[in-house]
Structure 1
Amino acid sequence: MTHNDTPTAARRPLLRGRALAAATAALFVQQALAGSSAAAAAPDVSAQEPRGVSTVTYDLGDQAYRLPGTGEPVEIAATVHYPKDLGTTPRPLVVQLHGWHETCADRAAAAARDAAERAGDWDAYAAAGQKLFSWPCAPGTRPIANERGYDYLGEELAGHGFIVVSLRANGINASSVWGDENASARADLINRHLALWQQLDASGRGALAGAFRDAVTGEPRRVDFRHHVDLNRVGTMGHSRGGAGVTWQAADRHAAQWPAGVTVRAVMALAPAYNVMTEDMTAYAITKTPVAVMRGTCDGQVGGEAFSFAADATAKSSAGFYRFAIHGANHNYFNTQWSPDSGQVAAGDDAAHDDTHPGRCTAPGDSTYDTQLTETAQRRVAAAYIDAFFRRHLTGDTRFEATLTGKRHPLAGIATVDVTADRR
């Protein structure tokens, strides 16, 4: 199944294929990406070994703003991973954005939807789906913390000196905006958060001042990020429809919408679900910023167009373009909240399987099978390449060049990764 933007009336087949899910805590990924010499970039945070990491959250409300045109509510909420010792040198900032997934952890609605699917009762299926994709969630129903699905990446990157902000976009997931408008809404959400960080870094003021809370206890936490965030070195990572959002946000046409003082210098599209029906590719065109796209060979949501669309969007780029195909990886395991081991509502393995290939997987409609990676292994491989990409392009560390160009495969014992690099 190809995961494209679909109008509400045609969503049933797409929803039927989605059994997405969750998890809790962070997975701290240690890898040894050796190399040669580090570039003379200042400051070189990437040369440092993993360090202690702290985690806070902020939440300015489930209805912090309204989508233009529809008036539907969207939250301003995020999880932040950062080095415990912020030091004296501003840190590069990485923004993470999840994709389309259920917004409310309503187990009764999930059970009703499954029963309706088995019975072929699509009216009941749609009614249950509305409860799972509502915003704000009904009283007594907790939201699915889709942004926490990348805690393992946040810890890995923060351990190497980055400040990492993972955004929640449940309001957009529950909204009626689709296609290019959905990518635009996600890009706007990124810019809204960046504007808050710009104000916080410059003056220690604004809506984020005093808004941080301990990620475990929920108690208020004072963190002085003032003058510690390098907004001239911003990287973005978007998964699924978040991948379309970060591509839109970084596109040449939309760079003028970045907050003052912000420069996006690296874009990672993780199994991106692009609007392949767009009539205006220039809305996604990136010509000056390095872009990487990653997809698993067993992705049950996004097809090979993830690579071809990104290639078209960067066709006139003078910066680097990288493609990483991870054999045996699916779509959901990149996000711990969407993965079965979490026990979260709507968790699932989206890869295709059959009884004649035990332990192996493929993409729907494909005939090539790979040994399926475990959740932990898939995320470990993804983290290694994402970490290498940002350390190379946000800090100038050339030690990761061999990994990004495919000359070196640091986790070859875990998975095969096909790497294509256009250095331009």
Structure 2
Amino acid sequence: MLKRHKRTRVSVRLLGLSAAALSVAAAAFTYTSMAGAVGVNEATGRNPVPSSGTTKTVRYDMGDAAWHLPQTGEPVELTGVVHYPADLGTGRHPLIVMMHGLHDTCADRKADAARTAAEHDGDDAAYEAANAKLSAWPCASGTPVLHSDRGYDYLGRKLADQGFVVVSVGANGINASSVWGDDNAAARADLINRHLRMWQELSSKDKGELAGKFTDPATGAARRVGFAHHVDMGNVGIMGHSRAGAGVTWQAADSHRGQWPKGVDVKAVAALAPAYNVMTEDMSNYTITKTPFATFRGTCDGQVGGEALWFAADAAKGNRSGFYRFAIHGANHNYFNTQWSPQSRQVAAADDAMPVEGHPGQCTDREGATPARQLTERQQRHVAATYLGAFFRRHLLGDTGQDQVLTGARHPDAAITEVDVTTAAR
């Protein structure tokens, strides 16, 4: 089957969806932001987010073929960009692991131009040849890697400034692989666990594969960072965007908790514009009832349909740890990742929102849907950071001052856009 560079909207899972969705909705409360902006930094009796106000960044890279998919043996990189408080202090910081979804892997501009021309001409053979270069792994000699893992630097810095250690991991090898559907979600979960295992060994013993492997992302110079005994592996959050949204749901599912590395406890999972395999025959692979779970989608998402929110609701049926759905008006799919967004001028960067004819600046996700004012790249990321930050602060730091944001009682970004918030009763 010809692999197109644009993600294809998945179809609604035909069986078991309506009843589960109605069950969750019956025990939920929905709010829409209409009031003015309200700050979220009220005193809570203590400061759960000690921060020096500055952050630092390092990177690690074990190689493009440092790991191999258990299903097929295909090569996958072990890389990560790490944002952390400049002053780690004397205590331990929760770890947040982030993963990108499906996108091109190699920034080959000639191949990108050839693919665009082939698509215009309807030349499938030329399209396939160009696409093979853009979705290869490892990339051809001299062709730069398209670093989708750097697309969440804005979020990593924001979270690090709030007291978290944040690592965004590369998954280009999975994107270039032959695994699809549930196998793709499982592969992403395995890769997350592989990174968590390395972090557990580093944090507990100051040894293992990560010891001595951190470098300056700009210069490549070695950097010594004292993460040992400063990362709380019993207090971990994970976030996945697009296909990785399915991956983190799989990783945190009740049935897969036994695969977490020893000493690791995932306390919060967030699926950002998740692209689920909605035709799955086994929902137990995605069911999360023991871990706080949040899912996000923009109303102008041109890649993932609204079924993503309902699938998540189905997966969270029976969850009493906390389940939240956020529909961000005017947000698309790609702007959550800076490398996928037009202002980056990166290969394959695009605005996937559907414009509304005769209404400049308005967008939607499908014909006939209610339009919204499209958010700029910066606005969309600001809103994402607000709500993801509130979720992780609440469930990794115990900051109850975020409760009203997570239930939709207060809307800190109402001056920017509306956010529909649905939360299951706890």
Same fold (TM over 0.5): yes
2:233–2:263: 8 Å Cα contact kept in structure 1?
A: yes
Instruction: Look up the match of 1:336.
Output: 338
2:298–2:329 contact (8 Å) kept in structure 1? yes
> Structure 2: which amino acid aligns with 1:68?
P
Matches within 5 A, 1:265-284: 265-284=267-286
Which amino acid in 2 is paired with 1:295?
R
Matches within 5 A, 1:5-404: 9=1, 11-12=3-4, 14=6, 32-35=39-42, 37-38=44-45, 45-46=48-49, 48=50, 51-404=53-406
Residue type of the alignment partner of 1:288: K
SS at match of 1:221: coil
What is the deviation of 1:400?
A: 0.6
SS of equivalent to 2:354? coil
2: CA distance, partners of 1:57 / 1:396:
29
- Structure 1 equivalent of residue 24 of structure 2: none
Structure 1 residues 193-243: Cα deviation after superposition (integer angstroms, max 9, x where no partner): 000000001111111011000122111101111100000100001000110
Residue 13 of structure 1 deviates from its aligned partner by: 8.5
* Aligned equivalent of 2:32: none
Question: Comparing 154-163 with 216-225, which one deviates more in the overlay?
Answer: 216-225
1:328 shift after superposition: 0.4
CA shift for structure 1 position 35: 3.3
Once the two structures are overlaid, the 10-residue window that deviates more, 178-187 or 309-318, is 309-318
The aligned counterpart of 2:31 is none
**SS of residue paired to 2:239:** strand
Rounded Cα–Cα distance in structure 1 between residues aligned with 2:359 and 2:168: 37
What is the distance in 2 between the residues matched to 1:272 and 1:367? 20
Amino acid paired to 1:33 = V
1:267-306 per-residue CA deviation (whole Å, 9 max, x = no partner) reads 1100000000110000001111010001000000000111
Secondary structure of the 1:292 match is strand
The gaps in structure 1 that reach 5 residues or longer are 1-8, 18-30
Secondary structure of the corresponding residue to residue 355 of structure 2:
coil
State the shift of 1:126 in Å: 1.2
Name the SS of the counterpart of 1:359 in structure 2.
strand
**What is residue 20 of structure 1 aligned with on the other side?**
none
Offset of 1:16 from its aligned partner?
8.1
Letter in 1 for 2:415: G
Amino acid aligned to 2:352: D
CA contact (8 A) 1:16 1:117 kept: no
Q: Is the 8 A contact 1:50 1:156 kept in 2?
A: no
- Where 1:213 maps in the other structure, the secondary structure is coil
Q: Supply the distance in 2 between the matched residues of 1:286 and 1:205 (Cα, whole angstroms).
A: 32
Q: Does 1:408 align with 2:410?
A: yes
Deviations 1:42-89 (A, max 9, x none): xx542x356210000000000002112322100000000000100111
Deviation at 1:410, TM superposition (A): 0.5
2-structure distance, mates of 1:186, 1:50 = 33
Structure 2: tracts of 5 or more residues without a match: 10-37
CA distance in 2, matches of 1:366, 1:244: 28
Q: What is the Cα deviation at residue 36 of structure 1? A: 5.1
Secondary structure of 2:234's counterpart equals strand
Q: Give deviations 1:177-205, integer Å, cap 9, x for gaps.
A: 00000000000000000000000011111
Superimposed CA distance per residue, residues 128-153 of structure 1 (whole angstroms, 9 cap, x where no aligned partner) = 11111000000000111100000011
Contact 1:319 1:423 in 2 (8 A): no
Amino acid at match of 2:322: G
Distance in 2, matches of 1:325 and 1:224, equals: 39
Q: Is the 8 A contact 1:332 1:350 kept in 2?
A: yes
Q: 3-state DSSP class of the match of 1:358?
A: strand
TM-score by length of 2: 0.91
2:314, 2:159 → 1: CA distance?
A: 29
CA distance in 2 between partners of 1:177 and 1:322 (Å)? 29
Structure 2 distance, partners of 1:222, 1:86, is 13
Q: Distance in 2 between matches of 1:15 and 1:400?
A: 34
Alpha-carbon distance between aligned partners in 1 of 2:340 and 2:121, rounded to the nearest angstrom = 25
What is the alpha-carbon distance in structure 2 between the residues aligned to residue 268 and residue 392 of structure 1? 13
User: Is the contact made by 1:246 and 1:267 (CA closer than 8 Å) also made in structure 2?
Assistant: yes
TM-score with structure 1 setting the length: 0.91
Q: Distance in 1 between matches of 2:87 and 2:388?
A: 23
Matched letter for residue 149 of structure 1 = G
Give the secondary-structure state (helix, strand or coil) at the position aligned to 1:293: strand
SS of 1:310's equivalent in the other structure is helix
Cα RMSD between the aligned structures? 1.5
**How far apart in 2 are the matches of 1:38 and 1:401?**
15
- Given that residues 35 and 402 in structure 1 are in contact (C-alpha distance below 8 angstroms), is that contact kept between their aligned partners in structure 2? no
3-state DSSP class of the match of 2:96?
A: strand
Q: Distance in 1 between matches of 2:400 and 2:6?
A: 42
